[in-house]
Structure 1
Amino acid sequence: MKLVNFSTAAFGLSLVGAGIAAPTGSNDFKTQCLQFAPEKHLENVTRTRLDYLKPGTNLTYPDYPESCNAMEPSIIEQETCRIGLIIPTSNRSSIKFEAWFPKDWNGRYLATGNGGIGGCIQYYDVSYASNHGFATVASNNGHDGQAGISFLNNPDVTEDFAYRALHTETVSGKVLEKAFYGKKHNKSYYLGCSTGGRQGIAMAERYPENFDGIVAGSPAVDFNHLQSWSARFYTIVGSANSSDFIARETWSGLIHDEIMKQCDELDGVKDGIITDPSMCQFKPETLLCSKKQMEKKSYASKNATCLTPTQVEKVKQVFSPYYGADGELKYPSMQPGSEVLASKLMYNGQPFLYSKDWFRYAVWNDSSWDPASFNLTDLEAVDKVNPGGVQTWPKNFSGFQSAGGKMISYHGQQDALISSFNTPRLYDHIAKSMGLTYSDLEDFWRFFRIPGMDHCHGGPGASAFGQAGLVGTKEVPFTPERNVLAAMIAWVENGTAPDTITGTKFKDTDAKKGVEYTRKHCRYPLRSTYVGNGYDTTSEEMWACL
């Protein structure tokens, strides 16, 4: 196989053809789609699909990797040409790539990211963007599924995961877009959360001219330390059959209730939401069993009413920052308020899948590595290896700033997978390393904290604001005030930077049941503050950014 490498594209890619203009009629568009030959415009690629999708199509994904969890069908709202390719990134690695080109193209290009350690094309984001008229691209990030075994003894796959897959996806898609429509886009955008958020940050650092606007939500930056922090929870809470294991019901009941008792009303409203977890100094010792309770073993069941001294210490460790042997902070603490979901994902008495596979296959290349043995030696090893250059803790964004790029980040304040304290830490780090005030940094990067939001979406707060195709896609207006992607467009194309992002809270977190309330989310370091009379707690006017 001939492999080509050149400065403006990814490994194995070359622009080899000119573009054609997109026709206007339905039959013409269908013909154009089915006659399009992507392999004429990119070298060394293998076509896997070329589909014309008509409006109203209920698109399913029967070949979706099982470990990615089931993907909901996509409703196609306009005529779309779906292109699938396998694109090599080295002589032993490749990406599965898709481009969705809508007939009613808005002249914009959008690349989507991934999640976890996957491995999984997020079709809800792809259909969301293409339905809004974006020429949209995606990839599997260099391997299939959420398991990490593909990293084993193959640093090229790890490098794809770290940054190369997205860059390849982006460059390839731009070549095909120009060939398909006969002209290049007006502006280029990126949308991603979690690992997708980290990918967006990595693009701003490594390839500052790839995108005019980047939406990087809940970014999994400082990635190796994030995986170390996640691995550490299993060594703290222990296995589910250990004598002092804290049951999920205790975390989501007794402990969560006490956290809410101590911290819910710090913002002046009792609503089941800790608006700013950094203000919550939770004291778990208030749950310590009395002598009588110890005799009755009131701690021993799922309906526990107190905690043993050992359990109290476990809770303290869970909510403590993670330090290295040198006393340096490696990762901030888990924020109070996340425990209902975190007890299912992180404190469940089993090793966390992502960190287990990361250390087994990317760090140690040893499938027998035992996550119960995790210690500071593993932390030192992952720092030394930094598989694929994945760490993503930039010193500055000077290239992105000089290129005129804009970036919006957001983070749910009860995220159970990535500490919501880490994005402010990154924002402060960049401000300091670039010698910028917050006002200066806001010229090209704005960060919004989202009270009551879980990981990337969901939760009891006003957590729907157009950040993904998962929830409220139709119910949330595509306006700069209500939709973060629309806000990014307004900033890039009109120079109107967002001061707030208004989130929507649906009744029972179900968009079909209608809107319960909306709330403006504040740009960091401002804090959402209740300024009402104590009666009306949901009206937007009762909250201010102070």
Structure 2
Amino acid sequence: MNTLPVRVRIAMPLLLALPTGLTSPVTAAPARSFDANGCAALAAASLSGAPVSGLAITAASWRAAGTQVEGRGGKSAPLPAHCEVTGHYGGHAGTVGGPYRTAFRMRLPQDWNGRFFFQGGGGSNGVVGDATGFNGPGNRTGLERGYAVFTQDSGHDNAVNKVADHGGELVFGHDPQARADYGHASLKPGYDLGMHIANKAYARAPQSKVFWGCSKGGQEGMAFAQRYPAAFDGIVAAAPGFSLPRAAVAQAWDVQQFASILRAAGQTPTVEGLKTAITADQFKLVGDAVKQTCDADDGLVDGIIGAIGQCTAARVLPALRAKQCSGGDQTGCLQTAQIDALARVMGGARDSKGRALYAAFPWDTGIAEPGWRVWKVGAENGPPSLNVILGGGSLAAVFTSPPTALPTDPARLLAWQLAFDFDRDAGHIYRVVAPYRTSAWADVGMRSTDLSAFRAHGGKLIVPHGMSDPVFSAYDTIDWWKAVDRRNRGSASRFVRVIPVPGMNHCGGGAATDRFDSLSALEEWMLHGKAPDAITATAGPATPWPGRTRPLCPYPAMAMASAKGAVGCSYPSNRQTSRRGSR
């Protein structure tokens, strides 16, 4: 994410081409001065006419230019002068683990660009983000660009709403309203409140509105596009967890497959044992086999598989079988049980009749990376499998109905996942059981292909996704986009683009060019009508090739090398080249 961001300035001739709701230059000066005095008055002003019930402003504090805050990527860059507003609103007693309410944070810059930025959450939420407008490593934050930034905790507090024998911080899944708030219901009230506070601060409403999030934040972006389509003019929904309940079923599937390796060796599966099911050296063998098989498909042997979707099990598995242990040599090779388990994991979760419960996963270079391994089996001398400690708890407490009360002990979570029956239990993500009035899938799944209202609003949607994401399959996102494109008669790229990132793990990391400026790409598309036909990405310092750049291409385009070695985006030969969706 190293492309230089742009501060968009709109010339008068472009005003007629702006999306719905953008009727004047967004870089116009604020209607009145906003400074420390205005910040101090904002707490009382925000209470007047508030669009949410029970609003309490706990602080409205002026932050001088140069202030740094701790966030998801460590300490932020020095921030511009701004007003930080914190508070909470709403609330209900809850059936277990309550009371619940929604907490928020908002930062309003002195030098406002006229725009609003909603910062998405992550994981199970329950914490209020830093509200700096993070949008990828190495990029200027939304606040630095002049956005007023809002974020919220989705209706529960991990420090307060915590019950040890009900999933700990996941207890909110046992409460119907708290689960719905986590899935989507807290989003629109938060948006309304953020817009209200901005209006009070600057004496006018924001003239363009963007959302940026990854993982659960990506799911939230999809929720806005599908359920609240008039809210945002542009959305970046990266690695979207829009199939979270299905992905949690797949995590249980993965755990069972890797546990089968231990059983084949005569071992009882344990959380620590899973770490050794396939060692780091053996995962490197797998990654090497994938590269040897598919790296050249894009015309360049460079450690990146740019030919999206062409590296198939039918090609990779013979290469893995060639590395199978034989005779007395048991080092530098793969056991039959390990290859078979990997084949089942990559093929996706299925019931006993072979029906898919979740998408297959791509064979990609990032399989060999720590960011893939820590989810699937855990890290040797490090954390246990995140599929167990996060996936198991979430599936039990949040994504199935009725929820199952479990402690947070990893051994108990593993035992529950190992007993999960994909014929009997997988359908519980779609069940409606009292006191719930909706299923977990209805609350949290945001995979609708009907984006007609978002398109009619003039919205633009960018969906980056790592091809080596071990949590949410990039193939699930690509399959979703294909369905959206069919629904829009081949013109979906006019308003939504999926951007596969070869080699990238979940939201970043891996041997990949994983640093790119999706926010600037969104601004160019949303405000100037320039669609992202390619986004320049740079490899980070931990990759084998720091500083390397490659284009990221909107699916189905791929980054392919020419005869002279230049890499650019091109479409498969079986696709029309008319590019109907270029604007």
Q: Is TM (by shorter chain) over 0.5?
A: yes
Alignment of 1:130-529 (within 5 A): 130-145=143-158, 148-238=169-259, 242=263, 244=265, 246-276=277-307, 278-281=309-312, 282-283=316-317, 284-293=320-329, 298=330, 304-325=331-352, 327-336=354-363, 337-339=365-367, 340=369, 341-348=371-378, 350=385, 351-362=387-398, 363=400, 364-368=402-406, 370-376=416-422, 377-385=424-432, 386-387=439-440, 389-432=443-486, 434-437=487-490, 440-466=491-517, 484-508=518-542, 516-529=547-560
Match of 2:36 among 30, 35, 44: 30
Structure 2 contact 66–81 (Cα < 8 Å) conserved = no
Question: How far off its partner does 1:181 sit?
Answer: 0.7
SS in 2 for 1:264: helix
Residue 567 (structure 2) pairs with residue 542 (structure 1): yes
Relative to structure 1, the CA distance from residue 277 to residue 416 in structure 2 (aligned partners, 3 Å threshold; closer, same or farther) is farther
Relative to structure 1, the CA distance from residue 212 to residue 90 in structure 2 (aligned partners, 3 Å threshold; closer, same or farther) is farther
One-letter amino acid of the structure 1 residue matched with residue 212 of structure 2:
L
Q: CA RMSD in A?
A: 2.6
For 1:526 and 1:543, the matched residues in 2 are separated by: 9
Which 10-residue stretch deviates more, 444-453 or 36-45? 36-45
Which 10-residue stretch deviates more, 204-213 or 388-397? 388-397
Relative to structure 1, the CA distance from residue 365 to residue 99 in structure 2 (aligned partners, 3 Å threshold; closer, same or farther) is same
For 1:391 and 1:268, the matched residues in 2 are separated by: 38
Question: How far off its partner does 1:327 sit?
Answer: 4.2
Relative to structure 1, the CA distance from residue 544 to residue 491 in structure 2 (aligned partners, 3 Å threshold; closer, same or farther) is closer
For 1:505 and 1:289, the matched residues in 2 are separated by: 35
Question: How far off its partner does 1:132 sit?
Answer: 0.9
Structure 2 contact 209–232 (Cα < 8 Å) conserved = yes
Structure 2 contact 31–203 (Cα < 8 Å) conserved = yes
For 1:497 and 1:142, the matched residues in 2 are separated by: 35
Relative to structure 1, the CA distance from residue 41 to residue 436 in structure 2 (aligned partners, 3 Å threshold; closer, same or farther) is same
Structure 2 contact 462–522 (Cα < 8 Å) conserved = yes
SS in 2 for 1:409: strand
Task: Deviation per CA, 1:77-136: give whole Å up to 9, x if none.
Answer: 211101111111545432111111001110011101112222344437536111110111
Q: Which residue in 2 is equivalent to 1:114?
A: 121
Question: How far off its partner does 1:461 sit?
Answer: 2.3
For 1:189 and 1:100, the matched residues in 2 are separated by: 15
For 1:124 and 1:509, the matched residues in 2 are separated by: 29
Structure 1 contact 148–358 (Cα < 8 Å) conserved = no
- TM-score of the aligned structures, taking structure 1 as reference length: 0.81
SS in 2 for 1:380: helix
Q: Which residue in 1 is equivalent to 2:577?
A: none
SS in 1 for 2:429: helix
For 1:324 and 1:48, the matched residues in 2 are separated by: 50
Structure 2 contact 105–129 (Cα < 8 Å) conserved = no
For 1:308 and 1:459, the matched residues in 2 are separated by: 25
For 1:544 and 1:154, the matched residues in 2 are separated by: 47
SS in 1 for 2:498: strand
Relative to structure 1, the CA distance from residue 515 to residue 102 in structure 2 (aligned partners, 3 Å threshold; closer, same or farther) is farther
Q: Where in structure 2 are there 5+ consecutive unaligned residues?
A: 1-29, 95-99, 135-140, 159-166, 266-275, 379-383, 407-412, 433-438, 572-583
Structure 2 contact 236–462 (Cα < 8 Å) conserved = yes
Q: What is the percent sequence identity of the aligned residues?
A: 23
Structure 1 contact 148–361 (Cα < 8 Å) conserved = no
Relative contact order higher in (CA < 8 Å, ≥ 6 apart): 2
Which 10-residue stretch deviates more, 262-271 or 237-246? 237-246
Alignment of 1:84-103 (within 5 A): 84-88=86-90, 90-92=92-94, 93-103=100-110
For 1:503 and 1:488, the matched residues in 2 are separated by: 15
Q: Where in structure 1 are there 5+ consecutive unaligned residues?
A: 1-20, 62-69, 299-303, 467-483, 535-540
For 1:251 and 1:490, the matched residues in 2 are separated by: 44
- TM-score of the aligned structures, taking structure 2 as reference length: 0.76
Question: How far off its partner does 1:40 sit?
Answer: 3.3
Task: Deviation per CA, 1:382-409: give whole Å up to 9, x if none.
Answer: 1224326211120411111111111111
SS in 1 for 2:548: strand
Structure 1 contact 505–515 (Cα < 8 Å) conserved = yes
Match of 1:40 among 48, 53, 56: 48
For 1:489 and 1:421, the matched residues in 2 are separated by: 26
Relative to structure 1, the CA distance from residue 391 to residue 148 in structure 2 (aligned partners, 3 Å threshold; closer, same or farther) is farther
Structure 1 contact 531–544 (Cα < 8 Å) conserved = no
Question: How far off its partner does 1:354 sit?
Answer: 2.8
For 1:241 and 1:326, the matched residues in 2 are separated by: 25
